[in-house]
Amino acid sequence: MSESIPRLESGGSSDRRRFEGLRGVQWRLDLGVIPAAPSSSIDDLRRVTADSRRRYASLRRRLLVDPHISKDGSNSPNLAMDNPLSQNPDSSWGRFFRNAELEKMVDQDLLRLYPEDGSYFQTPGCQGMLRRILLLWCLRHPEYGYRQGMHELLAPLVYVLHVDIERLSQVRELYEEHFTDKFDELSFHDNDLTYNFDFKKFSDTLENGSSQENASKVRSINELDPEIQKIILLSDAYGAEGELGIVLSEKFMEHDAYCMFDALMSGVNGSVAMADFFAHSPACGSKAALPPIIEASAALYHLLSTVDSSLHSHLVELGVEPQYFALRWLRVLFGREFSLQDLLAIWDEIFAQDNRKMDIVAEDDEGSSFRILSSSRGVFIAGIAVSMILHLRSSLLAAENATSCLQKLLNFPQNVDLMKLIEKARSLQALALEVNTSTSSSSSGAFVQSKRMVGRGHSLSSDSISPRTPLNLVPDSYWEERWRNLHKEEELKGGSLQKQVSTKKKGWSEKVKLSLSRTESDPSPAKAENIKKVTRTSVRRSLLEDLSRQLGSDEGAEKRSSHQIGGQKDHLSVKDDLARSEIHNEFSCADEERRLSANCGSEENSSIFSDPVSPLSGPIDHENDSEKSSVVSNLSLDEHDDQLQSTGCTVEDSPLPVSDVPDNTSLKSEPNNDPAGKAAIGVKERRPLSGKFQWLWKFGRNASAEETSNKEESPEASKSSDVETIYHDAADHSVIDHSISSGGIKGDSIDGNMIGSLRNLGQSMIEHIQVIESVFQQDRGQVGSLENFSKNLLVGKGQVTAMSALKELRKISNLLSEM
Amino acid sequence: MLVPGKIQHIICTGNLCIKEVHDYLKTLCPDLHITRGEYDEETRYPETKTLTIGQFKLGLCHGHQVIPWGDLDSLAMLQRQLDVDILVTGHTHQFTAYKHEGGVVINPGSATGAYSSITYDVNPSFVLMDIDGLRVVVYVYELIDGEVKVDKIDFKKTTTTTAH
């Protein structure tokens, strides 16, 4: 029990080490269970202790369920629900069985905890206590469940409390007079009902007692050694909160251990929470989609690479992934690598470090890429790990394959000079802090880079609420389901346009869109298929809309990143198309929801547009309702509008930004993030229509050699710095060119109806262009209110380009009306 | 409702008739105790069986051997003969539970609601015993009119075990 390892002076935190001799109390202080401020008095400590113990007691009462205890009829709940075989999850029997399972798992580990003879941990009392604590913690934190290793974190905590109690009993023996109630220099014994003390004897002793004896007996508490003083005060049964507040109390050891364990696991709002290391899934706050333990292991390696790059590269070459050994090291905080006494010394140091998140002076969200390194405690832990690795340096460098390396790392030698280890860790700590601040600029580690990209995307798309889908193809049934959901909604709720997020990942969205668009590029010309077509197109639209929605953020990020990389033009242009089509779909879907009757219109619209847009698609059945055609044309115009104004429409909650489309243009040097701002006003009504148009547009685009046309357009568009409008123009041009060309080709295939509807379309286009122009006027005044994305927009220029785009639209509509 | 893992022992009075039912019960719990009923095809089941679970001694018998069928006094004779605290018998296809002479005689009824020549309107039923130290809680599950009804009976073992 003797602490053979002298404590090192820890920097300037000596004021935090109030209880040098009492590890239990000191650790509670460090972990945050009791207040650490030097000004807090013993009474404060007692109060906090008492509160935490009360909490634990109530938790225990609540969660440890014994369904047998319901002898009286009033207590027993409804038998139909609460019988042992009940499947009802609420039944107390259900809870009982679940607890029993958890207990079984915990017991498996507890039996193997420090199994050497005479071990304190194998005593049934201790085992029962450990079991209860672990069980309650896991019940309280069901998201973590019980993982092997938690018991090893808990064991030293209980041990130090036990050690403290032993110390207390030692002191008690020595300084008995301060612990027993003594009045008139005589202690009250329980069996003394009357005191018949001999006055004479008493006075004799007073007089005759040797001065030394008297002096020692009458010594007041203030004259004692401060350490002893503390111990006495902490165990005083009459202080604040009475017996519950006795800080060093055997009775409440379980409560205290639970509080310490909880504080250790949760990190108490600090940076290092041990529970994270047990989690499988990435923490929600983490930038990279990696489990925290993997991230922390990578941090170790990162630190090692800055300290000793040759060893680091050697390990990497051999393929020794850090988490192979770091998992065990970190999860039990080196509990398996050191003997218990050594471990206590190391934990002293670790807990002495502050766990608060440090303000890393680095670039905003890219800095502190390693969560573990963002608090001094975490850095120290990493430092210890790295110093351990360095300790084995020579043997690791000599090892020739990964297995032998791991063997050495996992069988850390027992007789290690702890002082040196801790010293080294301290020096590494300072180094690590520097390293962490410059992490953002380093691009080491693939995940760091990807994290950055993702982070960038996130920061840009922070306004979007598009759900993040994994980069893989979604099965068809999922889309059908989405369609059904969409179909139920009668009204679009997207009153507020979402600011578009310029950065989205293209990836699979592109592929899916391509495939979807390709499948759609041949609408059946039969008129009789109106309804079917509507359904199909609406399905397609909704599908595409979903795609666009979900890909929104992905698209933006990816596009942006590709943009950053100076990606391939073709790629981008294709993506542009896809993005646009996405947007179209979005709009079309939105549109459908709004006007159910518009289905036909949209179909018609699509059919109409598919004629000019995609020459390959035959004349689609269309109802030559002027209304519908106007709706259609509205759609198309809306689309144009939208694209011109680069408004992002949110159909339901997807922020698919139209600006995404422009962003993709490789020529554009500025990712255009906020087209949404422009069309904020008038887009709503145009949205549904434009959606359909876009959808059709997409078809047309995909069907034609868009890439080439885009390329052609790109030079033209480069005149404007406004990405989206340029892109928009380009798109327009290409589309229109196609339409015109295809119109010319297929002129003979278009029947009279088609021509009529085209004329109508042209008319509505003109109308809409006028509307757009008016909106532009309004928008000019609204530039300032756009979101941060719009800062990149040169709105003035955008307006100009938009106007030019509108003129182009006019041309198109004229053409159409001529046909 | 009968999921594997919750039940530690199955005590069956007999008349499973075919092996498939035996196998099904085995999936619920590996510890299966059966006595021979008059229609059992498996000839190797014993006529009676005794086992000890916790503090209780249980006796098992199909019951067609005890005449008159279902008569408490005759069953009590069997209980004394086997020297058990809890006697489980069947054959009548009707649930009954008696506290008798410091012990318990339980008839869990028919688990399938099979036809019986001595009982009208057979309801499927079975019994779940929760043995906890010196206390037994008996949960009776009956299927009445398509619904599972649960009932609970408490038995406490008295420490006096001397039989007269």
pLDDT tens-digit series, residues A566-575: 434 444 444 4
Q: Can you tell me whether residue B155 is helix, strand or coil?
A: strand
**d(C-alpha A552, C-alpha A569), whole Å:** 20
Report whether A560 contacts A457 (CB < 8 A): yes
Q: Contacts of residue B151 in chain A, CB cutoff 8 Å?
A: 79
Residue A217 has a CB neighbour count (10 Å cut-off) of 12
Report whether A599 contacts A617 (CB < 8 A): no
Largest CA distance in chain A: 136
Q: Which residue of A has its CA nearest to B3?
A: A85
Domain span(s) for CATH 1.10.472.80 in chain A: 268-359+368-438
Q: A68, B3: Cβ pair inside 8 Å?
A: no
Q: Contacts of residue A83 in chain B, CB cutoff 8 Å?
A: 128, 139, 141, 150, 152
Q: Please provide residue A514's backbone torsions phi and psi, each rounded to the nearest 5 degrees.
A: -55, -50
Q: Which amino acid is at A618?
A: G
pLDDT, residue A270, reads 64
Fold of the domain spanning A268-359+368-438: Cyclin A; domain 1 (1.10.472)
The pLDDT tens digits for B124-139 are 888 988 888 888 888 8
Structure tokens at A314: 């050697």
Q: B6, A68: Cβ pair inside 8 Å?
A: no
Report whether A415 contacts A337 (CB < 8 A): no
Q: Which residue of B has its CA nearest to A66?
A: B132
Q: Which residue of A has its CA nearest to B133?
A: A68
Point out the residue among B135, B150, B154 whose CB comes nearest to the CB of A79: B150
Nearest CA among A360, A569, A554 for reference residue A456: A554
| Cα distance between the two ends of chain B | 41
Q: Which residue of A has its CA nearest to B154?
A: A71
**d(C-alpha A638, C-alpha A651), whole Å:** 14
Structure tokens at A378: 């975490």
Structure tokens at A345: 């010394």
Tokens 């766990």 appear where?
A: A355
Residue A767 has a CB neighbour count (10 Å cut-off) of 15
pLDDT, residue A117, reads 63
**d(C-alpha A672, C-alpha A97), whole Å:** 57
Fold of the domain spanning B41-156: Purple Acid Phosphatase; chain A, domain 2 (3.60.21)
Q: Kindly report the nearest CA distance between residue A78 and chain B, in angstroms.
A: 9
Q: B1 or A750: which carries more pLDDT confidence?
A: B1
Point out the residue among B1, B132, B149 whose CB comes nearest to the CB of A87: B1
Q: Contacts of residue B29 in chain A, CB cutoff 8 Å?
A: none
Nearest CA among A714, A497, A701 for reference residue A587: A497
Q: Which amino acid is at A232?
A: I
Residues of A with a Cβ under 8 Å from any B Cβ are 68, 71, 76, 79-80, 83-87, 97
Is residue A586 classed exposed, middle or buried when 0-12, 13-18 and 19+ CB atoms within 10 A define those classes?
buried
**d(C-alpha A394, C-alpha B4), whole Å:** 55
Report whether A730 contacts A714 (CB < 8 A): yes
pLDDT, residue A67, reads 64
Which helix (H) or strand (E) segment holds residue A570: the answer is: helix A569-594
Report whether A612 contacts A755 (CB < 8 A): no
Q: A85, B130: Cβ pair inside 8 Å?
A: no
- Residues recorded for chain B: 164
| Sheet arrangement for strand B103-108 | B48-53, B56-61, B86-88, B103-108, B95-100
Which helix (H) or strand (E) segment holds residue A213: the answer is: helix A211-218
Locate the domains of chain B by residue range: 41-156
Structure tokens at A217: 């007996």
Point out the residue among A79, A86, A97 whose CB comes nearest to the CB of B152: A79
**d(C-alpha A685, C-alpha A577), whole Å:** 23
The pLDDT tens digits for B85-97 are 889 998 888 888 8
Low-confidence ranges of chain A (pLDDT < 50): 1-16, 71-75, 190-198, 202-203, 205-218, 361-368, 440-475, 490-491, 493-539, 552-693, 695-700, 702-750, 783-793
Residue A184 has a CB neighbour count (10 Å cut-off) of 9
Count of A-B CB contacts under 8 Å: 33
Q: Contacts of residue B131 in chain A, CB cutoff 8 Å?
A: none
Contacts of B45 (CB under 8 A, 6+ apart): B14, B34, B35, B36, B37
Q: Please provide residue B99's backbone torsions phi and psi, each rounded to the nearest 5 degrees.
A: -100, 125
Q: A85, B137: Cβ pair inside 8 Å?
A: no
Which residues are paired to B59 by β-bridges? B50, B87
pLDDT, residue A465, reads 39
pLDDT, residue A284, reads 54
**d(C-alpha A366, C-alpha A549), whole Å:** 26
**Displacement of CA A786 from its chain's centroid (Å):** 28
pLDDT, residue A186, reads 55
Q: Kindly report the nearest CA distance between residue A68 and chain B, in angstroms.
A: 8
Which residues are paired to A504 by β-bridges? A555
Q: Which residue of A has its CA nearest to B136?
A: A68
Q: A80, B149: Cβ pair inside 8 Å?
A: yes
Quote the strand ranges of A501-614, DSSP E.
Answer: none
Q: Report ipTM for this prediction.
A: 0.74
Report whether A479 contacts A589 (CB < 8 A): no
pLDDT, residue A717, reads 39
Q: Which residue of B has its CA nearest to A98?
A: B6
Residues of B with a Cβ under 8 Å from any A Cβ are 1-3, 6, 128, 130, 132, 135, 137, 139, 141, 148-152, 154
Q: B128, A84: Cβ pair inside 8 Å?
A: yes
Strands B32-34 and B10-12: parallel
Give the residue from B125, B145, B147, B152 with the most A CB atoms within 10 Å of its CB, the best one to mutate. B152
Q: A68, B1: Cβ pair inside 8 Å?
A: no
**What global pTM score does this model have?**
0.53
Which helix (H) or strand (E) segment holds residue B97: the answer is: strand B95-100
Which helix (H) or strand (E) segment holds residue B156: the answer is: strand B147-156
